[in-house]
């Protein structure tokens, strides 16, 4: 089953690649924009504001997105240029995500973002809910009371518990993610360049964080240690027991087979049967689940001749056998800073949400690097992998002042912005203009978190909310 599933996955990749035909058309890019939704005093908006947003979008021609388990609307969709726009809540109902339809140039993506900003501004005017161009809820404490009730969110605390940062009465450490908001990019990638791209974007996690860190204000104050608190949530949640599952991988991947089999070594979270999640608590790795047959004795359930080894969210035991497409779901249950998505796009996941007016910086950097992947790969290969891994938490802590192994993160950041600029210039569309905010930050030696701290200290929480409100024509300045 394992070999068959990997071959099935590769065959799907080959089919998608043939349909994309990147030799004869431009590379497509999509954007995931997550926004903390707050009240004017910085406290998180409530579930009533989120539900009102869906109704507002329905009135604008969007269609309901219904959770198969709860049977309730948990978002909205609208057909875009090449696929659909989607509005939803990933974990917390006070954090709304707009996944924008893919397009083949940044100018078109910019128009889509402006349309979303206009919708947000109209909804904010009528509801009082404010969407922040920021990477974390600034005031409200994390907890299970903020969790969006949908099928995908029902297994996390059962499988990856912990209460080092959240009190047991308020949930588990996974509920940290009800607060954090990122700016992610999806981009076309071919089979030949896929592993290089995954290695490059993981290797460049630290330099990206150094330029884009924007989540240092939470619990009503500036964090005393980190500029990018949102990225550290992965370390605080999964900790050492799952250190290969998040952040920068332990090593560079050799090829696609090495990549796939490495992922199969992660423990499973759940599979879906008739749209309903079924957990796999007895399986040590996903490979174990795929190789399991009646009578196997690889786990406690097998030793006791227990056939009903699946577990529903309600705690009911159920019989479950592996299916060839289960690997697609499993591909969403590890959180490297860059990964191949189940849609066969390169997913650049590392960056905090950016300030208003600068949402295109992350897609522009991602697209530019992909269009100049050879130079980017040569740059990453200049540095020891363990140093690049160390730069990730150091950049989260110190921004552009971070260094590791005698290497300054700012030096690498300057090089990758130049590489991205060259990549965008090759396209001849003027898209390199969207890198200008990054160039300014590098020239002045700051990241958005530095601006946020200054504004909070001089103008207070309400001033901070006004400055980072989505819909502002300009971004907060240093």
At 116-173, the pLDDT tens digits run: 999 999 999 999 999 999 999 999 999 999 998 765 656 666 667 789 999 999 999 9
Query: Residue 40 CA to chain centroid, in angstroms?
Result: 26
Q: What is the mean pLDDT of residues 337-344?
A: 93
pLDDT single digits (tens) 37-49: 999 999 999 999 9
Site of tokens 């047959």: 293
Q: What is the mean pLDDT of residues 245-249?
A: 95
What's the pLDDT at 295?
52
Which pair of structure tokens corresponds to residue 66?
């219904």
Q: What is the mean pLDDT of residues 364-372?
A: 98
Residue of 254 and 313 predicted with greater confidence: 254
Residue 474 confidence (pLDDT) above 80 = no
Site of tokens 């009190």: 167
Strands (E) in 163-279, as ranges, are: 183-188, 217-218, 221-222, 246-247, 270-273, 276-279
Residue 298 confidence (pLDDT) above 70 = no
Residue of 411 and 8 predicted with greater confidence: 411
Average pLDDT over the chain reads 91
Site of tokens 């996955």: 9
Confidence of residue 427 (pLDDT cuts 50, 70, 90): very high
Residue 247 confidence (pLDDT) above 90 = yes
- Name the burial class of residue 15, with classes exposed (0-12), middle (13-18) and buried (19+) by CB atoms within 10 angstroms of its CB: exposed
Residue 304 confidence (pLDDT) above 50 = no
Query: Residue 63 CA to chain centroid, in angstroms?
Result: 24
Residue 267 confidence (pLDDT) above 90 = no
Q: Residue 35 — φ and ψ, nearest 5°?
A: -125, 125
Q: What is the mean pLDDT of residues 395-424?
A: 98
DSSP string, 84-99: EEEEEESSBTTEEEEE
**C-beta separation of 77 from 84 below 8 A:** yes
pLDDT single digits (tens) 40-87: 999 999 999 999 999 999 999 999 998 877 788 889 999 877 789 999
What's the pLDDT at 159?
66
356: DSSP letter: T
Confidence of residue 294 (pLDDT cuts 50, 70, 90): low
Q: How far apart are CA 28 and CA 337, in angstroms?
A: 20
Confidence of residue 472 (pLDDT cuts 50, 70, 90): confident
- Range with the poorest average pLDDT among 19-33, 146-160, 207-221, 294-308: 294-308
What's the pLDDT at 303?
46
Query: Nearest 5 degrees, angle CA 120-CA 121-CA 122?
Result: 90
Single out the residue of 336, 387, 375, 363 nearest to residue 438, CA to CA: 363
Q: Give me the domains of the chain, ranges plus CATH numbers.
A: 2-258+334-467 (3.30.590.20), 267-329 (no CATH)
What's the pLDDT at 8?
83
What's the pLDDT at 130?
98
């Amino acid at each position: 089953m394992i070999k068959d599933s990997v071959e099935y996955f590769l065959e799907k990749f080959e089919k998608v690649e043939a349909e994309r035909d990147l030799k004869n058309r431009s590379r497509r890019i999509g954007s995931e924009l997550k926004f903390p939704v707050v009240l004017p005093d910085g406290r998180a908006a409530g579930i009533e504001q989120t539900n009102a947003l869906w109704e507002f979008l329905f009135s604008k021609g969007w269609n309901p997105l219904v959770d198969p388990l709860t049977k309730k609307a948990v978002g909205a969709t609208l057909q875009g240029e090449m696929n659909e726009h989607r509005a939803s809540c990933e974990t917390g109902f006070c954090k709304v995500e707009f996944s924008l339809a893919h397009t083949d140039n940044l100018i078109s993506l910019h128009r889509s973002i402006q349309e979303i900003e206009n919708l947000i501004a109209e909804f904010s005017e009528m509801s009082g809910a404010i969407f922040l161009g920021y990477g974390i809820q600034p005031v409200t404490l994390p907890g299970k009371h903020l969790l969006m009730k949908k099928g995908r969110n029902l297994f996390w605390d059962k499988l990856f518990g912990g209460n080092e940062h959240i009190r047991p009465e308020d949930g588990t450490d996974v509920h940290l993610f009800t607060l954090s908001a990122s700016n992610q990019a999806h981009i076309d990638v071919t089979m030949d360049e896929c592993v290089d791209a995954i290695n490059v974007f993981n290797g460049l996690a630290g330099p990206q964080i150094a330029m884009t860190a924007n989540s240092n204000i939470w619990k009503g104050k500036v964090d005393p240690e980190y500029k990018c608190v949102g990225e550290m949530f992965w370390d605080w949640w999964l900790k050492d027991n799952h250190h290969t599952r998040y952040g920068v991988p332990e090593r560079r991947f050799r090829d696609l087979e090495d990549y796939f089999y490495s992922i199969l070594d992660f423990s499973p979270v759940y599979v879906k049967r008739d749209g309903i999640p079924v957990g796999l608590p007895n399986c040590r790795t996903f490979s174990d689940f795929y190789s399991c047959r009646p009578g196997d004795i690889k786990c406690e359930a097998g030793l006791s001749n227990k056939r009903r080894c699946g577990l529903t969210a309600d705690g009911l035991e159920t019989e479950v056998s592996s299916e060839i497409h289960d690997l697609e779901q499993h591909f969403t249950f590890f959180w490297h800073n860059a990964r191949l998505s189940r849609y066969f796009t390169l997913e650049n996941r590392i960056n905090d949400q950016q300030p208003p007016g600068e949402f295109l910086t992350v897609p522009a950097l991602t697209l530019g690097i992909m269009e100049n992947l050879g130079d980017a790969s040569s740059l990453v290969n200049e540095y020891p992998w363990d140093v690049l891994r160390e730069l990730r938490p150091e950049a989260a802590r110190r921004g552009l002042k971070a260094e590791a192994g005698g290497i300054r993160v700012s030096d690498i950041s300057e090089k990758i912005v130049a590489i991205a600029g060259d990549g965008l210039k090759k396209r001849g569309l003027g898209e390199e203009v969207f890198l200008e905010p990054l160039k300014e930050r590098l020239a002045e030696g700051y990241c958005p978190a530095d601006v946020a701290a200054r504004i909070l200290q001089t103008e207070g929480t309400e001033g901070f909310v006004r400055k980072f409100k989505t819909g502002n024509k300009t971004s907060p300045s240093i």
